[in-house]
Each structure stands twice: as C-alpha cells, then as structure tokens.
C-alpha cells in the first residue's frame, strides 16, 4: 500500500519527528512511504530519514518567508492550535492541494491542526488517520471543540497510550471513528546494552519547566551526600538551562551534576549510564523512557499522566514515584544506587520488557489497522471499533505481547476491485 505522513516540520528535531521517521522506516520494508513536511527551514533534516522514504516540503521558509499569502490568516488550520501563528493562507492552499492530489491509500496526520486538514480536505479514496502525540485533556476547550467538529470525518484516531484512547472515546464523542492506542516505537539499539556498572544517572529531554529537572537535581543531592562518586548527566537544551546551572551551583553539585547539551542520537549516552531518570509533571508517552530501557537501563520516573505507568512495571524494570515528591524520588534513586544486583536485574528486565516497543510489534499493529480500514472502505462497512491491550502496559506486563499479524489478502482484493 502507499502511505503518506503529513508533519509540521520534518527538518527540525523532536519526539513527533523521531517517531514518524521510525514508523516510516519500518513500514518501508513492505510499503511505499512518503513524508510531507509542511515547512522546511534548512537544506537537510537534523534526523536522517530512511533513503526509501521520500521527504518533500510544501513551504520552504528559506525562500518563501515573505510570500504575500503568509500575511493572510489560515482558515482551515484551527486557530486554537498551538502552532496556528505559523500557518497561513499559503499553508491552507499548499496542504489542500497536496491532499487533493494525493494517490496514497492511507493518509496520516501527526498533530491536531494537520488532522483537521486531513479530515476536511483528503480525497474520498484515502483512509484518513489522525495521530495524537499529546492528549485530549492537554488541549484547550476551544481546540477540543474544533476537534469534535472535524474529527468525525476521520476514519481513525490513534493515541500513544491506552489512557488517552479511553479519554477520547469517553469525552470527544466521535461516532464512527475508530480510536486505538498505537505506541511510539524505538529501533533496535546498535550498541551493546549497559552493564549497570557505571555510577551514572542519565536524563534527557528539553530543558523546560514541565520536565522538572530542578526536582531531579534537588533529589540527586541526597544521592551525592551518601555516594559522592555518582554522577548525573542531563542531556538537552532549553529555556531552563541557566536556572538549572544556578541551582547546581547553589547546592554545591558542580562536580556531580552536568548539563551536557543536546545529543543526537542518545543511544551512545544511555549505555554509559546505569539508571535513567524522568521527573516530568506530564508525559503524553515517554519516548526517553523507552529509549533508556531499550539500552538496558531501569528508569526511575514520576507516575505522571499518561505514559510512564503504561511503560514501566514498578519494582520490575524501574520505579514509579508520585509527581513532585522529591523525597520519594531520592529514595527510589538511592534504592538502585545502593543495590548493585537489583539495579542490574531491573536493567535486564527493562531490556527484555521494552522489546514490545520495537518496530516489529508496533508496525504490525499499524499495518493491521491500515488494512482493516482499507477493507472496511472497500466494502462500505464501518471500521471495526478500537481495540485495547495490543502492547501491554507497564503494570502487569509479565506475559509478553507477541507481534500482531497483518490481515492478508486485503490489498489483492482491493486491486481486483479496481482500486
């Protein structure tokens, strides 16, 4: 089948770009895949797409920054969406033209505003799938209203957690739209996993308040007081850098806590550690949690909405602590620092349990969804309702989820029917 992803800006860096590139790469083993980037601001992408995946931009900001249509407001992209200020009459026209002329079997949007474009402007032959990389509850009331109006024209909506899929089914009122959780995937690591011996805790992500690196630094002070040879490395850049630097100096942790700057890819840095830490107030999924676990690190994380509890099995492959609780975070870190055997055992469990987020199981679920929707479209039937439990959650995932087998013969049937 031919699958096309519509993304905000594939030339930057971020979780949505990473997971879109990962899924496109895995799907390209058996399908024709392209990524349409609304914007382009540099010659080459920061992340490297698979050479089999075609990448094409719609608006090149290097040459079209002053295009007169960029001064006129967007009418299709919802005004309540966070990126609305970057969209315009020019993007309305370019996106609409791209969708109207697409010959893709499956069109996939990757943020709410682009999902609205898909819902309203996709050609009738294509299956329309919106992806949610944040959460329904995260959106403003105005945006939720806009989504309730447009999303019923989608064939399916995928969320990255079962909790958010349940929220959409319960609150968004989308009759006839299949809502299904499809987690992000992380490719198989190329490096040997951590052996759990390094006296290093690793954290990674944007240095913004919601990630609560201030809480992590303060909690790590208790680790240093008892084990002064342990180090904390925080990777990423952002607006909180200077405030964190000041906090590190105030607590006298300048020999133990290091702001490392951004690192891409992170795999080589994860394997240098023996514990990963995530201290967010909010995580729609938790890509860094999966990345760390796939490198053999147990993860100490806040039990924040929505992702961590669906990834981590508390006490098995990591620890979950209450949001904002510095003492509980310190205790969880110290528990793994003090106990070499427990740390290594949890690291092995993390490596094993995180395989359910490998491309194989996730792409099999995506293929099944795509093919069932195509079959429903060809037969005129409504799409089957969303399913749950394909990728087991952190709580109670001792039994591993096997890869789902995509429905066979659907494309041959569609071709015989003249598609």
Convert the pLDDT of each residue in 66-77 to its tens digit: 999 999 999 999
* Averaged pLDDT, 67-96: 97
Residue 267 and residue 273 in contact, taking contact as beta carbons nearer than 8 Å: no
Q: What is the pLDDT of residue 393?
A: 53
Which tens digit of pLDDT belongs to each residue from 350-371? 999 999 999 999 999 999 999 9
Q: What is the pLDDT of residue 386?
A: 57
* Length of the chain (residues): 419
Share of the chain above pLDDT 90, in %: 85
| CATH topology (fold) of 200-356 | Rossmann fold (3.40.50)
> Cα–Cα distance between 230 and 242 in angstroms, integer?
23
Residue 360, judged by CB atoms within 10 A of its CB (0-12, 13-18, 19+), counts as middle
Which tens digit of pLDDT belongs to each residue from 201-217? 999 999 999 999 999 99
Angle at 322 between CA 319 and CA 323, to 5 degrees: 115
Measured in degrees and rounded to the nearest 5, phi and psi for residue 369 equal -60, -50
* Averaged pLDDT, 264-281: 95
- pTM of the predicted structure, to 2 decimals: 0.85
Q: How confident is the model at residue 381 (pLDDT cuts 50, 70, 90)?
A: confident
CATH level 2 (architecture), domain 2-181: 3-Layer(aba) Sandwich (3.40)
- Shortest CA distance to 156 belongs to which of 368, 351, 360, 306? 368
Tokens of 376: 């429903």
Which tens digit of pLDDT belongs to each residue from 225-251? 999 999 999 999 999 999 999 999 999
Measured in degrees and rounded to the nearest 5, phi and psi for residue 189 equal -60, 145
Which tens digit of pLDDT belongs to each residue from 5-43? 999 999 998 889 999 999 999 999 999 999 999 999 999
Question: Would you kindly state where each structural domain of the chain is located, as residue ranges?
Answer: 2-181, 200-356
Alpha-carbon separation of residue 98 from 36, 73, 120, 158 (angstroms): 9, 19, 13, 22
Mean pLDDT score of the chain: 91
């Amino acid at each position: 089948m031919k699958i096309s992803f519509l993304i905000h800006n594939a030339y930057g860096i971020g979780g949505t770009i990473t997971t879109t590139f990962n899924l496109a790469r895995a799907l390209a083993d058996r399908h024709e895949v392209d990524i349409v980037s609304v914007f382009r601001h540099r010659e080459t992408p920061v992340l490297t797409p698979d050479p089999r995946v075609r990448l094409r931009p719609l608006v090149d900001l290097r040459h079209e920054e002053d295009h007169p249509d960029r001064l006129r407001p967007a009418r299709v992209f919802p005004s309540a969406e966070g990126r609305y200020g970057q969209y315009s009459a020019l993007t309305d026209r370019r996106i609409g033209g791209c969708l109207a002329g697409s010959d893709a079997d499956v069109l996939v949007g990757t943020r709410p505003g682009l999902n609205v474009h898909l819902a309203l402007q996709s050609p009738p032959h294509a299956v329309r799938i919106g992806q949610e990389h944040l959460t329904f509850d995260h959106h403003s009331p105005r945006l939720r209203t806009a989504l309730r109006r447009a999303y019923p024209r989608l064939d399916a909506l995928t969320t990255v957690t079962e909790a958010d899929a349940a929220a959409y089914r319960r609150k968004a009122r989308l009759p006839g739209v299949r809502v299904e959780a499809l987690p992000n995937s992380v490719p198989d690591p190329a490096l040997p996993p951590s052996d759990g011996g390094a006296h290093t805790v690793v954290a990674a992500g944007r240095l913004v308040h919601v990630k609560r690196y201030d809480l992590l630094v303060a909690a790590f002070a208790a680790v240093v007081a008892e084990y002064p040879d342990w180090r904390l490395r925080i990777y990423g850049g952002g607006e909180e850098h200077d405030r964190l630097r000041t906090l590190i100096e105030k607590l006298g942790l300048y020999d133990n806590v290091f702001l490392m700057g951004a690192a891409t890819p992170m795999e080589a840095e994860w394997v240098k550690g023996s514990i990963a830490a995530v201290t967010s107030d909010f995580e729609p999924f938790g890509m860094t949690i999966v990345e760390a676990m796939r490198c053999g690190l147990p993860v100490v994380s806040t039990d924040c909405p929505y992702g961590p509890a669906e990834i981590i099995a508390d006490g098995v492959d990591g620890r979950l602590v209450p949001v904002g609780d510095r003492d509980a975070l310190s205790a969880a870190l110290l528990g793994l620092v003090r106990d070499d055997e427990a740390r290594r055992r949890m690291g092995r469990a993390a490596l094993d349990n995180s395989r359910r987020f490998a491309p194989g199981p996730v792409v099999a679920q995506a293929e099944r969804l795509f093919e069932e929707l195509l079959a429903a479209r060809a037969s005129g039937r409504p799409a089957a309702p969303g399913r749950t439990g394909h990728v087991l959650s952190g709580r109670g995932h001792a039994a591993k989820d096997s890869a789902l087998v995509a429905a066979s013969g659907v494309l041959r049937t569609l071709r015989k029917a003249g598609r």
